[in-house]
A and B are shown apart, each in its own frame.
Chain A
């Protein structure tokens, strides 16, 4: 068990560019969550997958954001036309059953 991994760990981009992040959950974990954490704040829920189905989306997830989890394994989060307000740590968590969510190290996005 190698834990949840996220790539890249850091991403610097210019305003208006598209970025994509990847999350590899713990093997056999069928539930996957994305959260966003800005400086000095706790993580905020973005979206939830059970297997390949995206079952919940926060109102924070504007139409510039899209997430996928093909085949119920890894997941990607894409942000189109990035804005400076998108600068944050993007965290992925996976879960098998119940309440325990295991977080990855996060992808830190800086939009210049």
Chain B
């Protein structure tokens, strides 16, 4: 079992729909939970990160973390064709050496159809 599990999709939704993406993880030591967006042949771009359980909202994006269930989610409201990309969840814990190395899920490929 991988440390971070994420359904690779693909996921196809109509424009304006609410999108729900999620990941589960097995390492209870993870402290930070992130969502990255990656367009084809580009590097990942950080969307949001949270430190603890609960919700965090930024515009049309809401991230949820449930540490008791080891489950994180990203919701996208009023989805747009420009949201079409691969969404990667990532998790991290602080190492004594100063590193916040990230452990990623496989990514979910999202297509928003006009």
Contact = CB atoms under 8 A, between A and B. Distances in A.
Contact of A101 (B41, B42, B88, B100): B100
Interface in B71-114: 88, 90, 92, 95, 97-107
Q: Report which residue of B4, B42, B102 has the largest number of chain A beta carbons within 10 angstroms of its beta carbon.
A: B102
Interface residues of B, number: 28
Q: Report which residue of A40, A58, A103 has the largest number of chain B beta carbons within 10 angstroms of its beta carbon.
A: A103
A55 B42 contact: no
A100 interface: yes
A98 B100 contact: yes
B102 A101 contact: yes
Question: For chain A, which range describes its interface: under 10, 10 to 19, 20 to 34, or 35 or more residues?
Answer: 20 to 34
B44 interface: yes
A63 B68 CA distance: 39
Given A91-B43, A99-B49, A103-B43, A43 B104 contact: yes
